[in-house]
Chain A
Amino acid sequence: MGVGERASAAGAAPAVVPGRAGAGRFGRGAGTVLADYGIWAALAIAIVVSAATAPRFLSGANIHDLMSAMAVLGIVSVGQTVVILSGGIDLSVGMLMGLVTVLTNGIMNGDAALAWPMVALGLAIGLGVGLLNGGLLVLTRIDPLILTFGMLSILTGAIFVYTDQTVGAAPANFRAIAQGSLGPFPYLFLVMVVAAAIAWLVLTRTRFGRYVYAIGGAEEHARRAGIPIAPMKVAIYAISGLTAGIAGIGLAARLGSGYTLAGQGFELDSIVAVVLGGTSLAGGRGSVIGTIGAVVFLAILSNGLNLAGISPYTQQVVKGLVVVAAVVLYTRARRA
């Protein structure tokens, strides 16, 4: 009795759940009752509690801090939303951001003349890695989680091949990307809003957007319906790479130097934001607006806990439990 017999027996069994292989890869069908509006309730509660416990919460200065703190995660999460809606996942975005941070700061090294070329470089790296992800995915047809995990490792190696210490410095004009404001709004916050607005319009108003949802809902059905899967996937991962590149530029400007592990954790934080925002990890349902709601919620949670003087370690426990609570509440307690 070998593994093969078991596997082939499974192949011959009737497929109960149509569409994607297995009833969802990471657990089974994520029915989402609360998911469509749950994040807004959580957000409202977070705002009320924060405002009640810390009077400084609603001050103009604090709100300004909040807006700039959330922007980098918000931008990368927009691309992650598109990928997850299509039934994929992108684990490479964090280290991609890290690579952009290290390279831009390292090359500039305080030279103001290089600021704009470095913005172009960041966008090019992001787009390039995204296209590579999409291309490899189409060519090899391996699971996107494995592919982008492999890419995460390769990008980490690339960062450390370039340097194993914090390098370079951002000149004032580059730092202004993170520090400057248009009226009350930090530039990066506006970038996040624009990115989210474009993604929302594309996802809800264009054929491309309908295709993304269709592929995420049931890839095989989408293929049979004549949707061009391969170019769609390349485009979807390119979008994710591009938003990670933009987020990387923002991170580089915020930090002002090339810290090697700057991007670490953004891959998981962005997935958390997407899922908290009500997008199903199985693909096919959710929205970029929900993701932005979750990004705002996470920033307020962090800010509120900071203002309340809670230690970073306790904050980590709280954040973990919030993720667990959210995913438990979002899931219908019944097998699909």
Chain B
Amino acid sequence: MSDALARDRAAGGAALAVLERLGIWAALVVLIAIASGLSPYFLSLNNFLNILNQASVVGTTAVGVTLVMITGGVDLSVGSIISLSADIAATVMNGSDGNVPLAILLAVGAGAVVGLVNGVLVAKRNVPSFILTLGTGAAVQGLGLLYTGGTASGVIAPWFQHTIGGRPYLHVPGVVFVFAAIVLVGLLIEKTTAFGSRLFLVGSNIRAAELSGIAVDRVLILAYTLSGTAAGIGGVVLLGRVGVSSAFAGQTYTFDVLASVLLGGTTFQGGRGGIAGTIAGVLLLVVAFNLVNILGLNFNTQLVVKGAIIIGAASLYRLLQRQT
């Protein structure tokens, strides 16, 4: 890379970052404005809480995947982890309040273990994360199916149903509290810890990070473990929202999570983006679906719109990048 190019990139970098970060929020505001114009119901507090409720599983999981993608990797095993975690939580709970702490611990722990395996293989064996997590995802899904026999199993406990699945305080769904807490923790990790800034260094230039003395392996292992953990929590959130486990429930989430992270400006190249953008991406997708509903279009059209939004948003980023 030439010096001139590097200088241009450095000068344009700050402006570009602002544009990129504002871009997704601007798109979100535009969508919200359109939706509010079309339906007076849209701007109600209740609908706002519904949107957060709908975003909770994908959002919780996407926080972890963002950390991995900042390092330049990807985690495609999260959908299977969500399923497995929901299965474990439901069966261990088995309808009794006393079992809830153990159930949540085992469910989230299972996610953390899968993430740890992913992380160790990526860090120590330099395995491409895309195909690796595809493989671990398939294996984990198979384990989940073996564990439950492929049917909904387990019974959720009354306390869990009331607190996580219900609206315990101020009419706010319990899953929204969990979602908010995970976002907060994620942002703190990303913005305030040494690990957070090392994620970006590893993602920008792994060789340079290594040469500057960063324990790259540890950063990678922690990132994937956190991603698995967040997906484990996502499974618990799913169980709270839906009330029953299903071996296939989580499968569809992988792509939604990936789309949210990408829309939020965390690219496959790594080294850029962050959790704040991801949350905007998650909300953008949910609001877009909401909008399609308001317009009276059916679920099938939502899929087309979703695809168009993904391609459109990615193209917009690319355009912004080229202008600098």
Q: Mark A125-166, 1 if CB is under 8 A from B, else 0.
A: 000000000001000111101110111111111101100100
Kindly count the residue-residue contacts between A and B in the assembled complex, taking CB atoms under 8 Å apart: 247
Q: Mark A7-29, 1 if CB is under 8 A from B, else 0.
A: 11111111111000111111111
- Please, which residues of chain A bring their CB within 8 A of the CB of B194? none
Check A328/B13 contact, CB under 8 A, given A26-B74, A317-B146, A323-B134. Answer: no
Stretch at the interface among B26-34, B55-63, B163-171, B310-318: B310-318
- Please, which residues of chain B bring their CB within 8 A of the CB of A335? 126, 206-207, 210
| A314: Cβ under 8 A from any B Cβ | yes
Smallest CB-CB separation from A330: which chain B residue?
B127
Asked whether, in the complex, the Cβ of B128 is within 8 Å of the Cβ of A26, the reply is: yes
Check A268/B139 contact, CB under 8 A, given A157-B301, A328-B125. Answer: no
Asked whether, in the complex, the Cβ of B307 is within 8 Å of the Cβ of A157, the reply is: yes
Chain B, range 255-286, C-beta contacts under 8 Å to A:
255, 258-259, 262, 267-274
- Please, which residues of chain B bring their CB within 8 A of the CB of A55? none
| B122: Cβ under 8 A from any A Cβ | yes
Asked whether, in the complex, the Cβ of A5 is within 8 Å of the Cβ of B13, the reply is: yes
| B205: Cβ under 8 A from any A Cβ | yes
For residue A278, give the distance in angstroms from its CB to the closest CB of chain B.
Answer: 12
| A226: Cβ under 8 A from any B Cβ | no
Of B129, B134, B203, most buried by chain A (CB within 10 Å of CB) is B134
Asked whether, in the complex, the Cβ of B129 is within 8 Å of the Cβ of A6, the reply is: no
For residue B190, give the distance in angstroms from its CB to the closest CB of chain A.
Answer: 9
Asked whether, in the complex, the Cβ of A22 is within 8 Å of the Cβ of B272, the reply is: no
| A221: Cβ under 8 A from any B Cβ | no
Asked whether, in the complex, the Cβ of B204 is within 8 Å of the Cβ of A10, the reply is: yes
Check A327/B127 contact, CB under 8 A, given A4-B17, A314-B146, A320-B138. Answer: yes
Give how many B residues have a beta carbon under 8 Å from the other chain's beta carbons. 80
Q: What is the bound-complex CA distance between A42 and B315, given in angstroms?
A: 42
| A102: Cβ under 8 A from any B Cβ | no
| B300: Cβ under 8 A from any A Cβ | yes
- Please, which residues of chain B bring their CB within 8 A of the CB of A311? 146
| 29 residue pairs A–B, Cβ–Cβ below 8 Å | A2-B14, A3-B21, A7-B16, A8-B14, A10-B200, A10-B203, A11-B1, A11-B9, A12-B6, A13-B208, A25-B269, A27-B122, A27-B129, A28-B128, A31-B126, A140-B318, A153-B303, A153-B304, A154-B308, A156-B303, A156-B307, A160-B299, A272-B135, A313-B142, A313-B146, A317-B143, A320-B138, A321-B139, A324-B121
Kindly list 16 other residue pairs between chains A and B, CB separation below 8 angstroms, not including A8-B17, A26-B130: A3-B274, A4-B15, A5-B13, A7-B17, A11-B13, A15-B1, A22-B268, A27-B132, A28-B128, A30-B128, A149-B310, A272-B135, A275-B131, A315-B142, A320-B142, A322-B135
Listed in ascending order, the chain B residues whose CB lies under 8 Å from chain A are 1, 6-7, 9-10, 12-18, 21, 72-74, 121-122, 124-132, 134-143, 145-146, 150, 197, 200-201, 203-208, 210, 255, 258-259, 262, 267-274, 299-311, 314-315, 317-318, 322
